[in-house]
């Protein structure tokens, strides 16, 4: 800034002012008649336009940089911008199911709901109505006719290797009622080896007379 002021003073044209009256002192008259004598001396190492020359010299010596040669800017994520789970998604499954079925011994419809399915304990319920075409082909009453069916399933995981399952099936129609209770325990013994145990009790009132049977099985299964 001081250099710019000095350039302005040095480059300004000399103006001859009328001699004011200073009581006739020749020294004062000489100073007043020549304003250039009133300029301040420059005691700086940079006078005039020296700083502009240095800046231009640095700019000429600095190499030109191609923006394409610069490394790409790294994107910085602020706290809270990170996604907790990224790139992973699972389709949601319904807790309810509806279906119609037909086979060689029964036709009908059923409705199912998974009351508890998340976690080690699971509870499921199914019920529906149908018509039995032939008896004794599956678990149910022993004569044809309209029937009502229901099923309750309970599952419990025990540790990382075992699972306990219990189910109760009921079919009723034409005055007969059939009930089946089964208990199952599956244990992972070794890698690709599973021990399966099953115990079932069947009860059929058979028009008031009734019959009951039980069976059990133990199997060691290897998966390939």
Residues 212, 132 share a domain: yes
Assigned domain for 199 exists: yes
* Residue 115 and residue 123 in contact, taking contact as beta carbons nearer than 8 Å: yes
pLDDT band at 60 (very low <50, low <70, confident <90, very high): low
Assigned domain for 53 exists: yes
Of 24, 48, 65, the domain-final residue: 65
Distance separating alpha carbons of residues 218 and 224, to the nearest angstrom: 20
Residues 61, 128 share a domain: no
DSSP alpha helix (H) spans, the chain: 2-11, 26-33, 50-61
Locus of tokens 């019959």: 211
Residues 102, 34 share a domain: no
What range does the domain containing 164 cover? 96-222
Residues 108, 52 share a domain: no
How many separate domains does the chain show? 2
Locus of tokens 């009723």: 172
Assigned domain for 75 exists: no
Residues 117, 59 share a domain: no
* Residue 150 and residue 169 in contact, taking contact as beta carbons nearer than 8 Å: yes
Residues 101, 59 share a domain: no
Report the alpha-carbon angle 149-153-159, nearest 5.
Answer: 170
pTM: 0.54
- 204-220 pLDDT tens trace: 887 656 778 898 999 99
**Least confident stretch, 68-72, 97-101, 118-122, 162-166:** 68-72
Residues contacting 144, CB < 8 A, separation 6+:
131, 132, 133, 134, 135
For residue 56, CA distances in Å to 7, 44, 49, 60, 61 come to 18, 20, 11, 6, 9
Locus of tokens 């700019």: 59
Residues contacting 140, CB < 8 A, separation 6+:
106, 132, 147, 149, 171, 178
**Least confident stretch, 6-15, 71-80, 182-191, 202-211:** 6-15
Assigned domain for 85 exists: no
pLDDT in the model for residue 179: 94
- 113-150 pLDDT tens trace: 999 888 899 999 999 999 998 766 678 888 889 999 99
């Amino acid at each position: 800034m001081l250099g710019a002021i000095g350039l302005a003073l040095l480059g300004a044209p000399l103006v001859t002012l009328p001699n004011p009256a200073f009581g006739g002192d020749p020294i004062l008259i000489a100073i007043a008649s020549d304003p250039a004598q009133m300029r301040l001396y420059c005691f700086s190492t940079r006078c005039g336009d020296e700083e502009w020359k240095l800046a231009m010299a640095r700019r000429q010596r600095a190499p030109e940089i191609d923006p394409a040669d610069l490394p790409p800017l790294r994107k910085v994520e602020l706290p809270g911008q990170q996604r907790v789970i990224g790139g992973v998604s699972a389709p949601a499954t319904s807790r309810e199911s509806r279906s119609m079925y037909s086979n060689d011994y029964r036709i009908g419809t059923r409705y199912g709901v998974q009351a508890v399915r998340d976690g080690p304990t699971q509870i499921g319920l199914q019920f529906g109505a149908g018509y039995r075409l032939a008896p004794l082909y599956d678990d149910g009453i022993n004569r044809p006719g309209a029937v009502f069916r229901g099923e309750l399933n309970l599952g419990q995981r025990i540790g990382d290797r075992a699972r306990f399952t219990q189910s109760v099936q009921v079919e009723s129609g034409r005055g007969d009622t059939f009930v089946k209770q089964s208990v199952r325990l599956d244990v992972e013994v070794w890698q690709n080896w599973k021990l399966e145990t099953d115990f079932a009790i069947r009860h059929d009132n058979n028009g008031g007379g009734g019959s009951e049977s039980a069976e059990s099985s133990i199997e060691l299964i290897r998966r390939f």
